[in-house]
């Protein structure tokens, strides 16, 4: 075809010839090759999925499905729950043992070797409460807690001793019942002659440790030293230890009445998504609701996928993460018979633990919008005006201001033969990201690179007279992020830090629109002191007239919620139901609730019969 430019024709040389690519080919190519999740999700909206007519959804060809083991095809075995598969293999193992004892049956050599190994792994997985899963379960449908325990179970091998297990926050995203299973597993490791070293914030696990190494006393430049190393009982005598206050904390106080009256309700009937089938559920508006339950019970499905999809499609303003391929598929799977109450919500803010940036170019200051205001301050200095520089000169993402050697990254990639690439500090800008002449302009004795090196807490003093910048910094500090530097790369942030930065970005905004905030396990991986700060900010949002719904395992967050929706009773196909929709105090007395049992233990209250 011949293309004749009509709009902005001056940008081209004139008419040119090209090959027409059909819409179908363009969409298929986009899905297959694009690196943008947004473009992939947009392209996928034009596709529909259906079960493959050739394999009937079994994924394998006919020849592979004809091979049988224990009268089952490989698909039939992988489609079983792990608990059921464990039982089948254990029965087979016992039968082989009996056959060996009688010496009356043939045994496959491979089976003799592989069967005990498979049973060992399945037993570990089942012991961590993952028996409801099947081997063909898609990874993107697993909860955070399920993924964490699967990773741990994959390391379990019977008969190992003299092994040092070093685990970074293994309890993150786990229900108290699952933390108990985890504790039992650690005890098993130790009994077998191994050592377990945990980086941990959960006080129930910390209290069971034989030896405590407490680092602090605070975060960032106010931390970094060992303030105690010894048995647990000695920690109570360390006055500067924040951890000691929570290890020896008084019992939880379970809220028995909401702190504020509901302004309405969001009512969903006939919800079907993943393991949730024909569920009716109400969410009070103008309150803080905690959605609890064991991992895999359907909490994240209900809040993230169902509510996020339904409300996101109905409101005019949505603040959310960039959609992924999996999000598009999840949205298609959400089916709801009826929804009432959407008219009360004008805005949706959906905060997850996904990274806030995919490249080192995204830093805390740029994501929160702080850096735009900082650049305006530098552009307004007399020196910048004399040189005729605008705010673009003070950006490390613009050619005029960034270091030409590293393109504003502050580091360069070093290629190593036969080894993965590594990064080194840029030899020209020495990690400061900017051209040398940009750093000749100062404001109150600071260059723009100096500002990026400041922690949030330090920056509060530097910008004490700049109201708009100070508001953003105070939002970050109030949520426990005072130790983070403004120039810290988004790729270096943990999931919990990323989620709190997103929340802090919202806290600095002033809006009168009734906003629904959805958060998925915001306390995951946080020290109890940081959880307390986070919880206070969530209640602050509700006090301003908004609605907050959190998927949560942390007992201190659940205990102070206005309303708790407990999912269960179990996980997977045994979950997907609302066990209770009550106050925290009422949940503590519910005999059918696993969450309620642990709430009662934390609150040191006796449950009714």
| pLDDT tens digit sequence for 177-225 | 889 988 988 998 899 899 999 999 999 999 999 999 999 998 877 888 9
Q: Which of 457, 478, 499 is the last residue of a domain?
A: 478
Residues 341 and 442 placed together within one structural domain of the fold = no
What the block records as the tokens of 16 is: 């040119």
Q: Are residues 422 and 466 in the same domain?
A: yes
Distances (CA, A) of 474 to 85, 114, 359, 450, 534: 53, 58, 26, 19, 13
User: What pLDDT, on the 0 to 100 scale, is given for residue 4?
Assistant: 64
Asked whether residue 146 is domain-assigned, the answer is no
Same domain membership, residue 457 and residue 540: no
User: Which one of 46-50, 135-139, 512-516, 579-583 scores highest in mean pLDDT?
Assistant: 579-583
Torsion of CA 101, 105, 111, 115, to 10 degrees: -40
What CATH number does the domain containing 426 carry? 1.20.1580.10
Final residue of a domain: which of 435, 452, 478?
478
Residue 175 lies in a domain: no
Residues 532 and 584 in one domain: yes
Q: pLDDT-based confidence at 492, cuts 50/70/90?
A: confident
Task: Give a yes or no: residue 60 inside a domain.
Answer: no
Indicate whether 400 and 325 sit together in one domain: no
Question: What domain count does the chain have?
Answer: 3
Give the domain range for residue 295.
Answer: 264-356+513-603
Looking at the structure, tell me whether residues 403 and 472 fall in a common domain: yes
- Burial of 444 per CB tally in 10 Å (0-12, 13-18, 19+): exposed
In angstroms, what CA-CA distances link 598 with 207, 252, 553, 589? 16, 11, 11, 10
In a domain, 376, yes or no: yes
- Domain match, 470 and 545 both: no
pLDDT at 330 over 60: no
Task: Look at residues 460, 478, 496 and tell me which one is the last residue of a structural domain.
Answer: 478
- The overall average pLDDT reported for the chain is 88
Is the pLDDT confidence value at 481 over 60? yes
463 lies in a domain?
yes
Asked, for residue 448, whether it belongs to a domain, the answer is yes
Buried b (16+ CB within 10 A) or exposed e, 422-434: eeeebeebebbbb
If pLDDT is split at 50, 70 and 90, which confidence band does 329 have?
Answer: very low
Does 296 reside within a domain? yes
% residues pLDDT > 70 (the chain): 90
The answer to which of 13-27, 435-449, 565-579 has the lowest mean pLDDT is 13-27
Mean pLDDT over 29-36 rounds to 84
**C-alpha distances in Å from residue 391, one per residue of 198, 382, 394, 485, 574:** 46, 13, 6, 21, 57
pLDDT at residue 506, as a whole number: 86
pLDDT of 60 strictly over 70: yes
* Amino acid 410: pLDDT: 93
- What's the CATH code of the domain at 268? 3.40.50.300
pLDDT score of 15 more than 80: no
454 lies in the same domain as 390: yes
Question: What values do phi and psi take at 180, rounded to 5?
Answer: -65, -45
Query: Is the same domain home to 369 and 468?
Result: yes
At residue 420, the pLDDT reads 66
- pLDDT score of 66: 93
Q: Are residues 329 and 373 in the same domain?
A: no
Q: Do residues 386 and 468 share a domain?
A: yes
| pLDDT of residue 325 exceeding 60 | no
Question: What is the average per-residue pLDDT within 65-83?
Answer: 92
Percent of the chain with pLDDT over 90: 56
417 belongs to a structural domain: yes
Q: Do 459 and 443 sit in the same domain of this protein? A: yes
Q: What is the pTM of this model?
A: 0.82
Q: pLDDT at residue 391 above 70?
A: yes
Lowest-pLDDT range, 28-42, 187-201, 323-337? 323-337
Please compute the mean of the pLDDT values over residues 339-348 and round it to a whole number.
95
pLDDT digits (tens, 9 = 90+) for 248-290: 889 999 999 999 999 999 999 999 998 899 999 999 999 999 9
**74 φ/ψ angles, rounded to the nearest 5 degrees:** -65, -35
| Lowest pLDDT segment from 58-72, 129-143, 568-582 | 129-143
Between CA 150 and CA 141 the distance in angstroms is 13
Mean pLDDT over 11-22 rounds to: 66
pLDDT value for 106: 58
Q: Which tokens hold the place of 517?
A: 């905030």
pLDDT band at 112 (very low <50, low <70, confident <90, very high): confident
- Is pLDDT above 50 for 422? yes
């Amino acid at each position: 075809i011949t293309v004749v430019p009509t709009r902005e024709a001056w940008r081209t040389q004139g008419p040119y010839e090209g090959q027409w690519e059909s819409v179908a080919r363009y969409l298929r190519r986009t899905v297959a090759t694009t690196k943008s999740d947004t473009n992939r999700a947009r392209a996928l909206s034009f596709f529909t999925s259906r079960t493959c007519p050739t394999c009937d959804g079994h994924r394998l060809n006919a020849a592979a499905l004809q091979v049988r083991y224990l009268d089952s095809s490989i698909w039939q075995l992988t489609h079983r729950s792990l608990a059921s598969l464990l039982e089948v293999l254990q029965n087979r193992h016992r039968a082989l043992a009996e056959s060996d004892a009688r010496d009356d049956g043939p045994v496959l050599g491979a089976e003799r070797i592989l069967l005990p190994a498979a049973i060992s792994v399945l037993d570990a997985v089942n012991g961590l409460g993952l028996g409801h899963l099947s081997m063909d379960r898609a990874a993107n449908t697993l909860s955070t807690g399920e993924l964490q325990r699967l990773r741990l179970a994959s390391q379990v091998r019977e008969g190992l001793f003299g092994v040092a297990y070093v685990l970074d926050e293994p309890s993150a995203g786990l229900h108290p019942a699952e933390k108990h299973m985890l504790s039992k597993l650690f005890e098993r490791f130790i009994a077998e002659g191994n050592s377990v070293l945990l980086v941990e914030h959960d006080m129930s696990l910390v209290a069971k440790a034989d030896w405590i190494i407490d680092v602090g006393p605070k975060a960032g430049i106010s931390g970094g030293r060992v303030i105690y190393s010894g048995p647990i009982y000695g920690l109570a005598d360390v006055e500067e230890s924040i951890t000691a206050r929570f290890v020896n904390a008084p019992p939880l106080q379970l809220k028995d009445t909401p702190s504020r009256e509901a302004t309405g309700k969001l009512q969903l009937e006939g919800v079907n998504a993943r393991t949730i089938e024909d569920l009716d559920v109400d969410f009070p508006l103008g309150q803080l609701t905690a959605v609890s339950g064991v991992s895999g019970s359907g909490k994240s499905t209900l809040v993230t996928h169902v509510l996020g999809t339904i409300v996101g499609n109905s409101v005019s303003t949505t603040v959310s993460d960039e959609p992924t391929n999996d999000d598009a598929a999840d949205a298609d799977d959400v089916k709801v018979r009826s929804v009432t109450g959407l008219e009360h919500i004008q805005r949706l803010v959906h905060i997850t633990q996904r990274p806030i940036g995919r490249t080192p170019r995204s830093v805390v200051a740029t994501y929160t919008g702080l850096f735009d205001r900082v650049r305006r301050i530098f552009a307004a200095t007399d020196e910048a005006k004399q040189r005729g520089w605008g705010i673009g000169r003070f950006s490390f993402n613009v050619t005029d201001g960034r270091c030409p050697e590293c393109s504003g990254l502050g580091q360069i990639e070093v290629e190593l033969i036969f080894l993965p690439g590594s990064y080194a500090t840029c030899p020209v800008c020495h990690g400061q990201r900017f051209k040398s002449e940009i750093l000749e302009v100062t404001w109150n004795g600071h260059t723009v690179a100096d500002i990026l090196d400041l922690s949030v807490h330090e920056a509060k003093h530097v910008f004490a007279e700049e109201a708009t910048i100070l508001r953003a910094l105070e939002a970050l500090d109030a949520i426990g992020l005072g130790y983070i530097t403004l120039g810290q790369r988004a790729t270096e942030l943990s999931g919990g830090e990323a989620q709190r930065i997103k929340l802090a970005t919202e806290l600095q905004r002033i809006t009168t629109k009734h906003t629904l905030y959805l958060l998925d396990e915001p306390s995951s991986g946080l020290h109890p002191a940081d959880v307390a700060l986070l919880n206070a900010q969530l209640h602050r949002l509700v006090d301003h007239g908004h609605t907050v719904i959190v998927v949560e395992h942390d007992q201190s967050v659940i205990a102070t919620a206005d309303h708790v929706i407990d999912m269960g009773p179990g996980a997977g196909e045994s979950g997907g139901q609302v066990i209770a929709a009550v106050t925290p105090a009422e949940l503590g007395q519910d005999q059918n609730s696993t969450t309620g049992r642990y709430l009662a233990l934390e609150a040191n209250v006796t449950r009714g019969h």
